[in-house]
Amino acid sequence: MGKNNFLTDLRKIVSRVFTFLLLLFTANVSLAQNTCSDNGDGTFTNPLIPADFPDPDVIRVGDTYYMVSTTMFVFPGMTVLKSYDLVNWEYCSNALPRFDFSPCYDLDGCNRYGHGQWATSFRYHDGTFYLLFITLNEGGFLCSATQAEGPWSIRKLPKGFYDPGLFFDDNGDVYVAHGYGDLFITPLDENFAPAGRDSLVYTGTVRQGLEGTHVYKIDGYYYLYCTYGGRDGIQVALRSSNIYGPYEEKVVLRDTVPGVTFGIHQGALIQTQTGQWWTILFVDSGPLGRFPSLQPLSWVDGWPVAGIDGRGVITWKKPHVGNAYRVKQLPTSDDFGSITLGMQWGWNHNPDPEKWSLTQRPGYLRLVTGKVVTTLVQAPNMLTQRPFAHYDNKIPTTGTTKMEVASMKDGDLAGLAVFQDPYAFIAIKQEKESRSLIMVNNGELIASVPAGSDTIYLRAILSNSTEEATFEYSYDNNKFKQIGNKLVMKFSLKVFTGNKFGLFNYATKEPGGYVDFDWFTMN
């Protein structure tokens, strides 16, 4: 018995070393393929982050920049990133560990696909960070913290504001700008409740859908920085010497040239500590979601003008922030060797904390089935991650995982998904005493073959340019074989987030079965 335990431990150590080398190799491959916007020569290339970080709001506190984005029904959510040069970003916190304001966030007979937290306003005032947001179903909420790393507290507000823009005036007054098409200004009291009526200050003139308002006061003028949204978005600024108007309107950027800056819109104005001005907006970038973009900004006759000669820049000089900082990449691969999940991960809706673990078998992510469901869309505890696109559109994005399935129960399905609407997955299905390897495309069983081992490697290969995903499997992590057909990926507003990789295990007959994921790599 002692010898067997020694051999088991030795095999595990060798496996861990191999996984570490694989992750290291993957990271080097990613750098070679230029998945980071920093080119290492004083320039950067848009998109700023080639992944789904939409509706950005950005602030600077001292020498540090902070950005928040929309995560909707994914928790931990409301991702906060930080940077020291506006180009290289790292995870700072997820301000919403979970959202317990409706059973729909638990997938308890309903869901919040396409809903949840969005278009958050980020502000810092008198030593406190504030995140003001709305959910269409539950109303308005405010998160606050004394440091951006958290912990964050949350409170429900008596009133919600659509696409809110929180603003602290220099005389101590607090306001929120909000609205769709018609924009309103509402004064707030010390509890962030309305202290007066909603005052209509502007109605969009370019077309319908003026939204995404953020508020600034610069050289005595109030600026409402807004967008006419959509794939062909238009960024505009409204200006007035009075918070309640009247406001004039100017186009900040309207890029109609197909490519990585087409329709760039909705975001924030930023001034560096050296006095430069920049704006971070986003671009609807296909099935992988909405990617942030960093654009230089100048002032002409008191109006902000983004980009160069009416177009967004693609490769440009990095912001001057008074110092140089090393190139960083946001993490993607994970060997599940920690007792906490990396901040790149998020659960599809609220997780059931009793049905997953990183400690029951150290070095593995264990997913235990809970309630019985019929489809992946209803399944709790699917762990998801944003795919990162490549700047070379010819290179697809690949997610691979190693899964051990010996403890599944009859009716269980466990595997790797590409999740949006439509979705598809590759999985092991337990049927009484036998297991099969299946590929399902949007709820339809496409292929099924007998499973050849209790340990299997699953892979999804997807392309943001061709908008297709394929699935493969292996029993040795060397030779992979494709199964099923292609998923034609979409960016459906029914889900409203980019396609994500998903690790899952759900029961269709009885709860209690489990699988162990050894690692996940993205390259």
Residue 3 lies in a domain: no
The domain boundary, picked from 291, 317, 343, lies at: 317
Burial class (CB in 10 A: 0-12, 13-18, 19+), 481: exposed
pLDDT score at 433: 87
pLDDT score at 523: 84
Residue 2 lies in a domain: no
Active-site option among 38, 211, 284, 404: 211
The C-alpha atoms of residue 143 and residue 131 are separated, in whole angstroms, by 5
Lowest mean pLDDT among 28-42, 88-102, 122-136, 348-362: 28-42
Q: Quick check: 8 pLDDT over 80?
A: no
286 and 426 share one domain: no
Q: Quick check: 25 pLDDT over 50?
A: no
* Contact (CB, 8 A) for 262 and 232: yes
Tell me which residue range forms the domain holding 293: 35-317
Residue 92 lies in a domain: yes
Q: Tally the domains of the chain.
A: 2
241 and 378 share one domain: no
| Closest listed residue to residue 282, CA positions, set 37, 500, 66, 69 | 69
Residue 323 lies in a domain: no
Q: Quick check: 22 pLDDT over 70?
A: no
Q: Quick check: 19 pLDDT over 50?
A: no
Q: Which residue has the tokens 């099924």?
A: 448
Q: Which residue has the tokens 């993205």?
A: 522
Residue 113 lies in a domain: yes
Residue 289 lies in a domain: yes
Active-site option among 55, 85, 516, 518: 55
Q: Quick check: 10 pLDDT over 60?
A: no
Query: pTM for this structure?
Result: 0.93
232 and 381 share one domain: no
Read off the CATH number of the domain in which 507 is found: 2.60.120.200
- What φ, ψ does residue 52 adopt, rounded to 5°? -80, 90
The domain boundary, picked from 270, 288, 317, lies at: 317
Q: Which residue has the tokens 């807004």?
A: 226
- What φ, ψ does residue 481 adopt, rounded to 5°? -125, 135
88 and 42 share one domain: yes
pLDDT score at 352: 97
pLDDT score at 391: 85
275 and 363 share one domain: no
Residue 7 lies in a domain: no
211 is catalytic: yes
pLDDT, tens digit, 9 for 90 and up, residues 146-158: 999 999 999 999 9
9 is catalytic: no
272 and 374 share one domain: no
pLDDT score at 41: 95
Question: How many C-beta atoms lie closer than 10 Å to residue 173's C-beta?
Answer: 12
285 and 401 share one domain: no
pLDDT, tens digit, 9 for 90 and up, residues 375-395: 999 999 999 999 999 987 789
pLDDT, tens digit, 9 for 90 and up, residues 407-461: 999 999 999 999 999 999 999 999 998 999 999 999 999 999 999 999 999 999 9
194 and 116 share one domain: yes
Q: Quick check: 82 pLDDT over 50?
A: yes
Q: In the beta sheet, which residues pair with residue 473? A: 458, 481
132 and 154 share one domain: yes
Q: How confident is the model at residue 27 (pLDDT cuts 50, 70, 90)?
A: very low
Read off the CATH number of the domain in which 277 is found: 2.115.10.20
140 and 169 share one domain: yes
Mean residue pLDDT of the chain comes to 93
Q: How confident is the model at residue 35 (pLDDT cuts 50, 70, 90)?
A: low
Q: In what order do the strands lie in the sheet with 153-156?
A: 118-125, 128-135, 139-145, 153-156
290 and 401 share one domain: no
| Closest listed residue to residue 513, CA positions, set 425, 404, 422, 418 | 404
Say what the alpha-carbon torsion angle 292, 294, 299, 304 is, to the nearest 10 degrees. Answer: -10
Q: Quick check: 166 pLDDT over 60?
A: yes
pLDDT, tens digit, 9 for 90 and up, residues 238-294: 999 999 999 999 999 999 999 999 999 999 999 999 999 999 999 999 999 999 999
276 and 369 share one domain: no
The domain boundary, picked from 275, 293, 317, lies at: 317
